[in-house]
């Protein structure tokens, strides 16, 4: 294979871009209430406009689309997988670096008692896992607002 550099200085769209949310809604019943509220907000419309649902099931493909067009990718912790399902060292943290370099937000959502940045996680095992909420500030802000409504402290955007 080969890598082809297609865009110089890749950045999230300044206006937030397309209204797209990406998550495996089959796990909806297992999520915490703020994540459920955020997904409902995306479905029903934030600012009067509903978001489109797009979920490939491959983090790289979903994040690539999110980077190009805007939106949010959510793979939260849940009752079945309280630490999330994506691997910190070779999925979460590398993608977080790319997302943040492009002006996006790479959050864990509520994980280990707080909402934090994926890039600040300290892996404790080679295959340790973490939850993921990645996207532009507009859309991650919707998730953060849902956490705030439930009394959870969130980082500044």
Answer left, alpha or beta for residue 46, where phi above 0 means left and psi between -120 and 50 means alpha.
Answer: beta
Answer left, alpha or beta for residue 155, where phi above 0 means left and psi between -120 and 50 means alpha.
Answer: beta
Task: State percent of the chain over pLDDT 90.
Answer: 92
pTM > 0.85: yes
Answer left, alpha or beta for residue 109, where phi above 0 means left and psi between -120 and 50 means alpha.
Answer: left
Angle at alpha carbon of residue 103, lines to 102 and 106, rounded to 5°? 95
Please report the pLDDT score of residue 6 as a whole number. Answer: 83
What is the overall mean pLDDT for the chain?
A: 95
Strands 52-53 and 105-111: unpaired
CA–CA distance, 152 with 157 (Å, rounded to integer): 15
Distance from chain centroid for Cα 123: 19
Is residue 111 within 8 A of residue 78, CB to CB? The reply is no
Please report the pLDDT score of residue 110 as a whole number. Answer: 96
pLDDT digits (tens, 9 = 90+) for 111-123: 999 999 999 999 9
Is residue 12 within 8 A of residue 103, CB to CB? The reply is yes
pLDDT digits (tens, 9 = 90+) for 50-91: 999 999 999 999 999 999 999 999 999 999 999 999 999 999
Other beta carbons less than 10 A from residue 14's beta carbon: 11
Confidence of residue 7 (pLDDT cuts 50, 70, 90): confident
């Amino acid at each position: 294979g080969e890598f082809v550099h297609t865009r110089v200085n890749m950045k999230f769209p300044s206006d937030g871009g397309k209204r797209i949310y990406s998550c495996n809604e089959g796990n909806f019943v297992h999520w915490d209430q703020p994540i459920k509220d955020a997904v409902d907000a995306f479905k029903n419309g934030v600012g009067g406009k509903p978001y489109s649902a797009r979920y490939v099931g491959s983090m790289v493909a979903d994040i690539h689309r999110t980077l190009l067009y805007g939106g949010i990718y959510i793979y939260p912790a849940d009752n079945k997988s309280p630490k999330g399902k994506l691997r910190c060292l070779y999925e979460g943290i590398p993608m977080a670096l790319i997302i943040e370099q492009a002006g996006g937000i790479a959050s864990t959502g509520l994980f280990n008692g707080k909402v934090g940045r994926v890039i600040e996680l300290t892996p404790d095992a080679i295959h340790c896992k973490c939850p993921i909420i990645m996207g532009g500030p507009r859309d991650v802000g919707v998730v953060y607002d849902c956490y705030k409504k439930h009394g959870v402290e969130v980082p500044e955007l």
